[in-house]
Each structure stands twice: as structure tokens, then as C-alpha cells.
A and B are shown apart, each in its own frame.
Chain A
Amino acid sequence: MVLVFAEHQNGQFKKAAFEAVTYGYKTAQLMGTDCAAIVLGEAEEAGILGAYGASKVYHVADQSLNKLDSQVYTTVLAEAISQLGATVCIMTHTSTGKSILGRLSARLSAGSAAGVKELPTVSDGFKVKKDVFSGKAIATVSITSDIKLVSLMGNSLQPEKVGDAVETASLEVAIPESKVKVLSVDRVEGTTPLPEAELVVSGGRGMKGPENWGVLEDLADALGATTACSRPVADTGWRPHHEHVGQTGIAIRPNLYIAMGISGAIQHLAGVNNSKTIVVINKDPEAPFFKAADYGVVADLFEVVPKLTEAVKKFKAE
């Protein structure tokens, strides 16, 4: 059986969870087995995972699992894998998944592949591809243990509905006491966080100063995009650090990445080159970023971006 650990935030499932179930469902089909999902902590709508291919949704609805403790989650998941006889466990490559995957691997002596973006091949052992060197190469990882662990990079495949929601089943698992006390969780409200954003508009030094960000934000608003920036912009304090994308900031893989006034240093590209479509706006035709772009506009961004914003608004209105 393929078991998908489906993550939620305060009972709400995000797209990443549905992607993971779709991935689990397709992996189970390849292996000729079933896919089930497991949900930890209180969540009312857990049965919805059935619509994405989980034939069963196991729910350990204990309140003590509402907040993440990697040690406690690992114990519960290891027990569930053993009770259910799962041979593959899928999770999301998020802050939660990253805290658990390695632990579970050590607990179960199970091989793992972190941050995969394609379905495995199962005809000649269990092999799965993942990016290495920040996307500069792709490795094929062969997992040889009886239990295989995989975390799925966000936005790697589209969630697909294949059926209806199912009734959840409870699972009797002893929950150890947590050694981590979560004091607070603060999320920026309103905008989609960068790791989950499908559309991103990003600015670099070519923006000339924090007072000029209005032109970028107008475009982001028109598109419904999340804003980001390059490292020098975050380092000089023009924009907050959590907007910094690149090798030492956040690595993202949106559907659309629009870069304005960013030259495209190799460290910046390492964090964004997995974007499906890249648009580069820069007045310097020699900017290295154009080599990595799908579409380019050689122009003064302060003149051309407002025109692009108008064109987007017109398109949305139609």
C-alpha cells in the first residue's frame, strides 16, 4: 500500500496535500496496489482526500497533533506504516515534510528521496528523479529498502479528482508526549506564501530604491501574484528577508516568474530556474538572465511595467 501523509493548516488542506495524494494514487497504480491517506490532528474535511484517489483516509484526530513536533509525528507515522503494512510513504517537501522525512528514514531504516518532481519507475527497482545542485542537474535515486519514503516538491504535478470524498477511518495509535512546546504561529495573511505561489513578480537592484516598488506591486495585484526580490535588495533592507528568492533564500517553482531589474546572477537563477515560465524585463540586453528566460522585454522597467499592468487588467476584464 502507498500511504500519503497529507498535511493541513488548522484543518484546511492546501493544494500541496492534494498534489501528494494524486502522486500517491498514480504511484499505487504503477505498483498495482492501493493508495491511502493519513491525517494527523483535528481536521473536519479529511474525507475530501478520497476525491484525489485515497481509497481510505485514516485520521488520528488527537488535539495534541494539531501542532508539529517531528518526534511525535514520526512515532505516529511509523506506527501507522507498520499497522497498515505500507511499503511507500509519500509526503510534501514543505517545512513539515522536511522535519519528518529524515527522522522517519532513520527510525525505519528506510531509504528516502527528498524533493522529487516526477513519478517513480517501478519496473527495475524503485527509482525516482530529483533535482540536485539547485536544479543544475537531475539525479536518479534508487531506493532499495522494503519501505520507501518520498517527499514531493510543490507544484510538480496538478491535483486530479478521480472520485468522491470518503468516510474517514480512525486509527488507534499511542501518542507520545511532546518535548517541543509551540508558543506561537504567525502567518502573513492575505497573500499566498512564496513556496506555494503560482505567480510571482520579483524585483532587483534595477528598481533603484524601495520607494519605487509601487510599479511592481501594481502588476502583482493585477495578476494576483506574490512579490519577491533578489538578494541585494533584501540585504540592503529595501524589502523584507522573507521575500528573498535564490540559492541562499527561498527556492521557488511557480508557473510564472516575472523578474524586473534583476541581472540574473547564477545564485539567483538557482532559486528560480524551476519556474515553468520566466519573463525578464531589463534595459540591459546583455543581462545574463535573458539566457534563462522564455520571454524577454528589453526596456526601462519604469516605462514598460505600467503598460504590462494595463494589458493584464484589460485581459482580466475580458
Chain B
Amino acid sequence: MKLLVCISKTPETTTKIALNEDGTAFKTEGVQYIMNPYDEWYALVRALELKEAVGGSVTAVNVGSAGNDTIIRKALAIGADDAVRINAEPHSSLYIAKQIAEFAKSENFDIIFFGKEAIDYNGSEVGAMVAEFLDMPFISYANKLEVEGNTAKVAREIEGGVEVAEVQTPFALSAAKGLAEQRIPNMRGIMMAKRKPLKVVEAVDFEDQAKAVAYELPPPKSAVKLIDPDNMEELVRLLHEEAKVI
């Protein structure tokens, strides 16, 4: 099977967010970047497992500048066969999706994997957009995937439950927790990654339809009100009268 995994670069999960003076951008000094965990732990690893079971190849694709190569090499170290970087600053979901779709449309991938969302913009949009550009079915929040021939059975998270659907390749999915178990790259993988192909392609022109124009930090939380452990009636009263939540 020919498999594509779309990976994105996100700030590390413990990053403290600070803004520039006019609130138009995040301060990037000192921010550590990682591969988006849903892409790395679940999407990439499930694609690798599938390749190991039925043969084929796993390609990783990223939209970004040369600074992203470290993260792309990590995907290769974990086991992707080759990688493509589409050379552009990713500025909106639709822009990123268009770039990925343009690359993928002539490649005939059987399954395209995404993480369920990127942990920075939390939009959960790019997978659905790429699937639409390529006119293929899209299953979001997949936490189980079994493939037999051209038929896949996919379980997806829904509110308070699970939906199981059957779909034929080609299709796209977004990966949630449960789809696979995280793999740590080993020394051999890291060495081999250096020799694996990382192709850089140029982006196509595409006009943004939506763009983040300003940022702000949430208002600071007022200090915690400590309640006497022997007076839980007081806590209940505050939740009812002050917070008005019960």
C-alpha cells in the first residue's frame, strides 16, 4: 500500500506562550518545537504498522521552511521511507491543505493519515480539506483501523461512544489516541534517516480566505479561594451562590 502521513511542527506541550508588543505574533525565542504528537504517535506509527503487515511505502509530508527538516528527519528515523517538504510558510489551514493536495493528487496514495488536530491551532480542519480537494472519503478521530485488500474498517470517536464504518481506498483519516502506540526512534533508525530521501518541492500560489490577525492572552486567573476542609457546606454554598454552577 502507498501511504502518506502529513506531519506538522508545533511548539512543545509545556511551552509558555508570549506575544510580541502589538499582539500580531507569538514570540518564538526559546520555544522548542516538536512533531505534532497526534501525527507522530498515532498517524505515523499506524501507517508503519500497516506497511509492515502488507508491504508498500510510507511517505511523510510537511509544509514549512528548512527549519522543519529536524522534525521531518525524526519521522524518517521512526520509520518513514521517504519525505517531502513543501517549501512555504504555513499561514492558514486551507493554504496548507491546498499544498498537500497539490502534491498528493498525482501520487495515488491509498490512505492519507493526519493527526486528529495540531496542538497549536486546534482546528482539526486540514485533513477534511485535503480529502475534499482530492474528492475522497474522510474519517475523523479514528482510533482503530483494520485493512483487508482495498477495504478498511475504521472506528472513530464520537461524543460518548464509537462509530464503526467501512470504506474503500483511497481515503483519508485523522488519528486519535488508541490508533497505535508511540515508537521511540532507535540509533539505527536515526543513522538510516540521514540517508533517506527528503525532497523539497515549491509551493503553489493560493490566496488565504481566513487568517489570524491578532492574538491576546487570556485574562489572569484570580487567586484561589481556599475552603476549610471541615466546612464543605461553605464550598457548596459558594458553588451555588457565587459561581452559580450548581
List residues of A whose CB falls within 8 A of some B CB.
68-71, 74, 94-96, 98-107, 109-115, 127, 131-145, 179-188, 191-196, 198-199, 223, 241-242, 244, 247-249, 251, 255-256, 266-267, 270, 276-277, 279-280, 290-299, 303-304, 307-308, 310-312, 314-315
Given A137-B215, A139-B215, A315-B246, verify A296-B225 contact (CB < 8 Å): yes
Closest residue of chain B to A96, judged by CB?
A: B158
B122 at the A interface (CB under 8 A): yes
Q: Are B137 and A69 in contact (CB under 8 A)?
A: yes
Name the segment of B54-62, B67-75, B138-146, B190-198 touching the other chain: B138-146
The CA-CA distance from A199 to B139 in the complex, in Å, is 30
B50 at the A interface (CB under 8 A): no
The CA-CA distance from A296 to B238 in the complex, in Å, is 12
The CA-CA distance from A256 to B123 in the complex, in Å, is 24
B102-159, CB < 8 A from A = 119-133, 135-141, 153, 156-159
Q: Please report the number of residue pairs spanning A and B whose Cβ atoms sit closer than 8 angstroms.
A: 277
B78 at the A interface (CB under 8 A): no
Most B Cβ at <10 Å: residue of A133, A251, A279, A307: A133
Contact of B158 among A131, A187, A267, A295 (CB under 8 A): A187
The CA-CA distance from A254 to B61 in the complex, in Å, is 36
Secondary structure call for the A interface: mixed
Contact of B121 among A132, A290, A299 (CB under 8 A): A132
B227 at the A interface (CB under 8 A): yes
Smallest beta-carbon distance A51→chain B, Å = 23
Closest residue of chain B to A129, judged by CB?
A: B216
Smallest beta-carbon distance A9→chain B, Å = 8
Q: Are A94 and B159 in contact (CB under 8 A)?
A: yes
Smallest beta-carbon distance B100→chain A, Å = 11
Closest residue of chain A to B125, judged by CB?
A: A102
Contact of A199 among B93, B126, B246 (CB under 8 A): B246
Q: Are A181 and B215 in contact (CB under 8 A)?
A: no
B210 at the A interface (CB under 8 A): yes
The CA-CA distance from A249 to B222 in the complex, in Å, is 27
Closest residue of chain A to B238, judged by CB?
A: A295
Given A103-B129, A185-B161, A223-B246, verify A247-B229 contact (CB < 8 Å): no
Given A132-B121, A183-B165, verify A102-B126 contact (CB < 8 Å): yes
List B contacts of A145 (CB < 8 A). 209-210
Contact of A98 among B98, B140, B229 (CB under 8 A): B140
Closest residue of chain A to B162, judged by CB?
A: A186
Smallest beta-carbon distance A249→chain B, Å = 7
Q: Are A144 and B210 in contact (CB under 8 A)?
A: yes
Smallest beta-carbon distance A289→chain B, Å = 9
Smallest beta-carbon distance A262→chain B, Å = 14
Q: Are A70 and B140 in contact (CB under 8 A)?
A: yes
Q: Are B160 and A196 in contact (CB under 8 A)?
A: yes
Q: Are B232 and A307 in contact (CB under 8 A)?
A: yes
Q: Are B123 and A114 in contact (CB under 8 A)?
A: yes
List A contacts of B14 (CB < 8 A). 266-267
Q: Are A111 and B213 in contact (CB under 8 A)?
A: no
Q: Are A95 and B159 in contact (CB under 8 A)?
A: yes
Closest residue of chain A to B37, judged by CB?
A: A248
Beyond A185-B162, A186-B163, A304-B229, 15 additional contacts (C-beta under 8 Å) are A101-B125, A105-B125, A106-B94, A106-B129, A113-B210, A138-B216, A180-B139, A182-B163, A193-B159, A198-B245, A256-B246, A291-B221, A304-B232, A308-B236, A315-B236
Closest residue of chain A to B161, judged by CB?
A: A187
B243 at the A interface (CB under 8 A): yes
B217 at the A interface (CB under 8 A): yes
B167-225, CB < 8 A from A = 167-168, 171, 177-178, 208-218, 221-222, 224-225
List B contacts of A248 (CB < 8 A). 37-38, 177
List B contacts of A113 (CB < 8 A). 210
Q: Are A101 and B128 in contact (CB under 8 A)?
A: yes
B97 at the A interface (CB under 8 A): yes
Contact of A111 among B15, B136, B164, B209 (CB under 8 A): B209
Most A Cβ at <10 Å: residue of B13, B141, B166: B13
B19 at the A interface (CB under 8 A): yes
B226 at the A interface (CB under 8 A): yes
B17 at the A interface (CB under 8 A): yes
A selection of 28 A-B contacts at a CB cut-off of 8 Å is A70-B138, A71-B131, A95-B157, A99-B128, A102-B125, A102-B127, A103-B131, A103-B138, A111-B208, A111-B210, A114-B93, A115-B122, A115-B124, A131-B122, A133-B122, A135-B218, A137-B215, A138-B217, A141-B211, A142-B211, A223-B246, A242-B157, A248-B177, A256-B239, A267-B14, A270-B13, A277-B245, A308-B232
The CA-CA distance from A95 to B128 in the complex, in Å, is 12
The CA-CA distance from A11 to B182 in the complex, in Å, is 39
The CA-CA distance from A115 to B122 in the complex, in Å, is 8
Smallest beta-carbon distance B217→chain A, Å = 6
The CA-CA distance from A92 to B165 in the complex, in Å, is 22
Smallest beta-carbon distance A190→chain B, Å = 10
Q: Are A297 and B235 in contact (CB under 8 A)?
A: yes
